[in-house]
Structure 1
Amino acid sequence: MFKRITAPETMPVSVPDLLEHLRQDDEGQEALLTTLIRTAYQQAEHLTGRPLLPQTWKYTARGFPRQRPQPGQYVEWGKAPFHQGHIKLMPDLTAVTSVTYTDPLGVQQTLASDAFYLDGRRIYPVGCWPQTQWDTPVVVTFDCGYFAADDDVSSLCCWMKLFAATLYENAEVNQPGKQILLPRDFVNGLLDPYLLVEA
């Protein structure tokens, strides 16, 4: 199970940016515009399938993953490859902060950083994963994000302004006598450079 524990500190689009895009100067709507900006950002992550700005997540599972032996293969408990399954985290992984678990004696442990290695978004053990107490969680805390702090995010900003402005101008789901449909290929095409494509 994944849970975000630290959201991006700032949005690439500010309230003044959106006000300028809307051609308005009413800063009394700051709470509404802030919500629209964050909604636009969340939708951008949903459409691209990746965390765009730097953020921190937590992955929780019951025990470490187990790699099943081949049919007819006998593997002694605690020996490879039975304890060599990998943990798949979110895309654009930048760092693993900690891996914690509860050992068979009920003591919480933190896995040493040299006891595992990263291959893309996957974590593999160096040797085998340690044994854990039955039905206790393994927690991996990690950082991820497609963009670095100094990256150009102009295309993302344009898309967020368009999306937020559309929400602003269409405050109701059904508007009698008024129907607006933005050209989807053009608008969402602004996010194409950031789409996650995996084999």
Structure 2
Amino acid sequence: MAAKVTVGPSEEAISLEEAQFHVKADADPDNDTILKRAIVTARQRAEHELGRPLLPQTCEKRFESFERRMYLWEDVTKIVSIEYVDDAGADASLGPMDFYLSGASTARILASLPAAREVTITFECGAFESDTVPESVIEWMLLQVGAISENRSSVDSVQTYELPGRFTDGLLDRYRFLSV
């Protein structure tokens, strides 16, 4: 199961003003709503493409049972809690001395593994602060914002042209997390 964002980033890497300038739009409440959504969508798409969270956020990931090593996501900065439902159906949690973060992506359980029906790990993660996201990633996201702003439906009768995909996606390559 993928990590679920429970508290999103407090600030995006692209400001509304940057997006307005990029798409050559004046401030307009209706258009601003679309641009704000496009900024979030572009970041989420970049996170999906890169396999890592770009900005600080809080997430949770659920597991069916305990394992010694439990992969969370990349760029984890802190494990907030590990909670579970025991065999009797009671809610329980591991203490902070019973686990640690290994390699910024994996929760390692030190205690003997309790029998559990459901495990929920809450953690904080994020590769960059909003003002340190690499320029090539920002540019990729701005291209996505522009595409969303220009094409407001998935089907259109007007001919559109796409930048070569390899160029556009290549903007992310240096920051892509590849697992082995």
TM-score calculated relative to the size of structure 2: 0.87
Post-superposition shift, 1:40?
Answer: 1.1
Number of residue pairs the alignment of both structures matches:
177
Q: Does 2:65 correspond to 1:63?
A: yes
Q: Does 2:124 correspond to 1:124?
A: no
Q: Which residue pairs with 2:23 in the alignment?
A: 22
Answer whether contact 1:12 1:153 (CA < 8 A) is retained.
no
Q: Which residue pairs with 2:78 in the alignment?
A: 95
TM-score calculated relative to the size of structure 1: 0.79
The change in CA–CA distance for 1:36 and 1:152 in structure 2 (over 3 A counts) is closer
Which structure: larger Rg?
1
For residues 174 and 131 of structure 1, the distance between their equivalents in structure 2, rounded to whole angstroms, comes to 51
Q: Which residue pairs with 1:33 in the alignment?
A: 35
**Runs of at least 5 residues in structure 2 that lack an aligned partner in the other structure:** none
Q: Does 2:171 correspond to 1:190?
A: yes
For residues 129 and 108 of structure 2, the distance between their equivalents in structure 1, rounded to whole angstroms, comes to 25
- Any idea what the Cα deviations from partners look like across 1:116-162, whole Å, max 9, x if unmatched? 22222222222522234xxx322111111111455243222211111
For residues 175 and 103 of structure 1, the distance between their equivalents in structure 2, rounded to whole angstroms, comes to 53
Q: Structure 2: which amino acid aligns with 1:131? A: A
Q: Which residue pairs with 1:46 in the alignment?
A: 48
Q: Which residue pairs with 1:77 in the alignment?
A: none
The change in CA–CA distance for 1:124 and 1:177 in structure 2 (over 3 A counts) is closer
- Any idea what the Cα deviations from partners look like across 1:10-52, whole Å, max 9, x if unmatched? 1111211111112221323111111111111111111111111
- Any idea what the Cα deviations from partners look like across 1:48-87, whole Å, max 9, x if unmatched? 111111111111223313xxxxxxxxxxxxxxxxxxx321
Q: Which residue pairs with 1:158 in the alignment?
A: 139
Post-superposition shift, 1:178?
Answer: 1.4
Q: Which residue pairs with 1:110 in the alignment?
A: 93
Answer whether contact 2:99 2:108 (CA < 8 A) is retained.
yes
Range that drifts further, 2-11 or 165-174: 165-174
For residues 23 and 170 of structure 1, the distance between their equivalents in structure 2, rounded to whole angstroms, comes to 14
For residues 122 and 133 of structure 2, the distance between their equivalents in structure 1, rounded to whole angstroms, comes to 27
Range that drifts further, 186-195 or 102-111: 102-111
For residues 115 and 153 of structure 2, the distance between their equivalents in structure 1, rounded to whole angstroms, comes to 54
Post-superposition shift, 1:105?
Answer: 5.1
Q: Structure 1: which amino acid aligns with 2:10? A: E
Answer whether contact 2:4 2:60 (CA < 8 A) is retained.
yes
Q: Which residue pairs with 2:127 in the alignment?
A: 146
For residues 115 and 62 of structure 1, the distance between their equivalents in structure 2, rounded to whole angstroms, comes to 19
Percent identity over the alignment is 32
